[in-house]
Amino acid sequence: MVVPQKYEIGHEAHFSQVMNMYLGWMKKGEQPADYLPNMLVKYYTLSEAWKASR
């Protein structure tokens, strides 16, 4: 997989982006409607992949 250079921002810059997004949710008092379902799918997929690798 080739990631375009404009998306390679580094760990520290990405952490800052995620933190700012989270703080924006805190100010609004809510998170996007799709956040929880997407997180559940992500962690389910990761846990199933981990199980399959064993």
Which residues does 32 contact at the CB level (< 8 Å), separation at least 6? 25
pLDDT digits 0-9 by tens, 4-53 = 988 888 888 889 999 999 999 999 999 899 999 999 999 999 999 999 99
The CA distance from 46 to 34, in Å, is 18
User: So what's the pLDDT on residue 46?
Assistant: 95
User: So what's the pLDDT on residue 8?
Assistant: 86
